[in-house]
């Protein structure tokens, strides 16, 4: 009866096909390709099967992100409900709190793409605060117009008319821009103006 | 002119001693996920991902050793490890979407941690007859070390960089934040500190065992 040792010696002398070829170039290439296709296929099937749960989690994520911004502007508000957004260029979404305050998700063009802000307008018809949702402005230059200090200059402005960093015409209110960040300053003023226009259309002033 | 085989052997032994050290295993396992370990929550999430990556790589390397050769082992283990982490990412996206958003592309990139651990188990750059698989004990050690390293980096980075822990502000430290922490530079400093502690603890364990054996 052949012993285990002699069987091992025999298999060492006559290795299988895989053992003979597994260090070869073609075997390596084909194996990697097959594994890559299988791994990609499994990932694709899993992604397809989870389409509905992903949609729900995306909604929850969006709400978590903007919810945090709303709380920063109106810390005392307990609940918010989404309101049908009027057809205003640059307006994304509108929320109304239990206390009658509004938050507007607005965007306009900055220096590098869109500057999206959350603008809060209180039930008294005044700008309550501004938070950044997304921006892509130049660090240290454009972002100087996206600081809390600059946003504070808009606080308590009447939500009426439009805002401009240039010389104010009739129906416009002048706001200071940030030197060296003109495009971004204009984007912030435009965003707040969009929020004011939307506020008028949802039943504000 | 061929190198003297003794010189080559000594160089290989030095390389093997370096890559088999606990500090190297800790750094190799934690480095891919270090960039996103900026808060305690993110540190825990990416630490768990790194631990899963290392253990899965060790299991796969053993299971596929009969099928893979010298040049196909690393890529096959890497691809399958990345697939496991992608599926883990899907589960994270459904259960904790905020953390998933924070980790982003670094979740599948952490599969490199597993590949690095498998690489470290071999004799560094020599993959000849002396190479060996990562043992389960080594894999568990590397997984725990990488996870702890990333959690510590996340915790200390958030505490020292923004004076908060898990989003809760620590009032006493708010005037003394150090801006370097919470950024990649500070995280590297913290990782180096953790690696030194790991090496000291494991080195003390080995010295203790050698003392018990006594002189020969």
Can you tell me the ipTM of this complex? 0.76
pLDDT of residue B44: 93
From the list A22, A42, A57, the residue facing B94 with the nearest CB is A57
Beta carbons of A114 and A133 less than 8 angstroms apart? no
Interface contact A61-B97, CB threshold 8 A: yes
Compute φ and ψ for A108, nearest 5 degrees: -150, 175
What distance in Å separates the CA atoms of residue B145 and residue B197, rounded to the nearest whole number?
A: 11
Q: What is the distance of C-alpha A2 from the center of its chain?
A: 70
Interface contact A50-B94, CB threshold 8 A: yes
Beta carbons of B46 and B110 less than 8 angstroms apart? yes
Beta carbons of B150 and B50 less than 8 angstroms apart? yes
pLDDT of residue B216: 46
What distance in Å separates the CA atoms of residue A33 and residue A15, rounded to the nearest whole number?
A: 24
pLDDT of residue A55: 93
Tell me A202's DSSP state.
T
B124 or B117, greater pLDDT: B117
Q: What is the pTM of this model?
A: 0.71
A152 in contact with chain B, both atoms CB, cutoff 8 A: no
**pLDDT reading at B10 higher than 80:** yes
The chain B residue lying nearest A32, using CA atoms, is B76
B167 in contact with chain A, both atoms CB, cutoff 8 A: no
Regions of chain A with pLDDT less than 70: 1-15, 205
Interface contact B83-A23, CB threshold 8 A: no
Give contacts of B68 with chain A, Cβ < 8 Å: 22, 31
Most B-contacting residue of A32, A54, A60 (CB-CB within 10 A), to test interface: A32
Interface contact A28-B71, CB threshold 8 A: yes
Compute φ and ψ for B9, nearest 5 degrees: -65, -40
B87 in contact with chain A, both atoms CB, cutoff 8 A: yes
pLDDT of residue B70: 82
Write out residues 51-80 of A within 8 Å (CB-CB) of B.
53-54, 56-58, 60-61, 64-65
pLDDT of residue A1: 54
Strands (E), A74-123: 80-83, 91-97, 102-109, 114-121
What distance in Å separates the CA atoms of residue B28 and residue A125, rounded to the nearest whole number?
A: 57
Q: Give how far A12 is from chain B: nearest CA, Å.
A: 14
- Total Cβ atoms within 10 A of residue A54: 14
> Looking up tokens 């995280």, which residue turns up?
B187
B72 in contact with chain A, both atoms CB, cutoff 8 A: yes
Q: Got the DSSP string for A140-153?
A: TTGGGGSSHHHHHT
Give contacts of B97 with chain A, Cβ < 8 Å: 57-58, 60-61, 64
Burial of A66 (0-12, 13-18, 19+ CB in 10 A): buried
Share of chain B above pLDDT 90, in %: 18
Residues in chain A: 205
pLDDT of residue B169: 73
Most A-contacting residue of B66, B68, B111, B127 (CB-CB within 10 A), to test interface: B68
What distance in Å separates the CA atoms of residue A19 and residue B67, rounded to the nearest whole number?
A: 8
What distance in Å separates the CA atoms of residue A59 and residue A65, rounded to the nearest whole number?
A: 10
Tell me B174's DSSP state.
G
From the list A19, A24, A36, the residue facing B79 with the nearest CB is A36
| 3-state SS assignment for residue A79 | coil
Beta carbons of B111 and A66 less than 8 angstroms apart? no
From the list A22, A61, A64, the residue facing B69 with the nearest CB is A22
What distance in Å separates the CA atoms of residue B126 and residue B167, rounded to the nearest whole number?
A: 46
Q: How sure is the predictor about B71, in pLDDT bands with cuts at 50, 70 and 90?
A: confident
Distances (CA, A) of B176 to B39, B171, B212: 17, 10, 46
With CA atoms as reference, report the closest residue to B91 among B49, B143, B47, B43: B49
**pLDDT reading at B207 higher than 70:** no
**Mutual orientation of helices A51-73 and A25-49 as an angle, nearest 10°?**
60
With CA atoms as reference, report the closest residue to B70 among A12, A33, A25: A25
The CA R_g of chain A, rounded to the nearest whole Å, is 30
Distances (CA, A) of A36 to A31, A42, B146: 8, 10, 27
pLDDT of residue B45: 92
What distance in Å separates the CA atoms of residue A160 and residue A197, rounded to the nearest whole number?
A: 8
Two structure tokens written together for B20 = 């088999």
* Average pLDDT value for residue range B128-141: 67
Beta carbons of A126 and A108 less than 8 angstroms apart? no
């Amino acid at each position: 009866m052949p012993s285990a040792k002699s069987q091992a010696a025999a298999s060492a002398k006559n290795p299988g096909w895989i053992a003979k070829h597994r260090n070869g170039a073609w075997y390596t290439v084909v194996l990697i390709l097959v594994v890559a296709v299988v791994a990609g296929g499994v990932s694709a099937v899993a992604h397809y099967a989870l389409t509905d749960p992903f949609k729900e989690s995306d909604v929850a994520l969006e709400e978590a992100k903007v919810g945090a911004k709303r709380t920063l502007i109106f810390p005392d508000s307990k609940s918010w409900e989404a309101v049908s957004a009027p057809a205003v260029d640059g307006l994304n979404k509108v929320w109304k709190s239990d206390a009658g305050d509004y938050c507007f998700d607005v965007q306009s063009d900055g220096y590098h793409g869109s500057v999206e802000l959350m603008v809060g307008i209180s039930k008294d018809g005044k700008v309550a605060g501004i938070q950044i949702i997304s921006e892509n402005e130049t660090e240290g230059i454009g972002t100087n117009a996206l600081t809390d200090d600059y946003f504070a200059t808009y606080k308590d402005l009447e939500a009426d008319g439009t805002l401009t960093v240039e010389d104010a015409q009739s129906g416009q209110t002048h706001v200071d821009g940030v030197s060296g960040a003109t495009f971004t300053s204009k984007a912030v003023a435009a965003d707040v103006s969009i929020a004011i226009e939307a506020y008028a259309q949802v039943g504000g002033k | 002119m061929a190198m003297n085989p003794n010189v080559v052997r000594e160089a290989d032994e030095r390389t093997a001693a370096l890559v088999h050290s606990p500090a190297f295993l800790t750094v190799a396992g934690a480095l891919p996920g270090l960039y996103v370990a900026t808060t305690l929550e993110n540190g825990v999430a990416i630490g768990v991902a790194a631990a899963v990556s290392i253990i899965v790589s060790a299991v796969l390397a053993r299971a596929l050793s009969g099928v893979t050769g010298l040049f196909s082992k690393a890529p096959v283990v890497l691809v399958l490890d990345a697939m496991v982490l992608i599926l883990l990412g899907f589960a994270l996206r459904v259960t904790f979407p905020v953390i998933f958003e924070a980790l982003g592309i670094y979740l599948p990139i952490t599969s490199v941690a597993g590949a690095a651990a498998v690489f470290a188990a071999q004799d560094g750059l020599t993959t000849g007859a002396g190479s060996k698989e990562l043992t389960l004990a080594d894999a568990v050690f590397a997984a725990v070390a990488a996870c702890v390293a990333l959690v510590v980096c996340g915790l200390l980075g958030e505490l020292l960089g923004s004076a908060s822990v898990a989003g809760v502000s620590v009032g006493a430290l708010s005037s003394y934040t150090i801006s370097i922490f919470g950024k990649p530079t500070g995280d590297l400093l913290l990782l180096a500190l953790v690696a030194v502690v790991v090496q000291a603890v494991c080195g003390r364990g080995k010295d203790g065992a050698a003392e018990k054996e006594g002189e020969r």
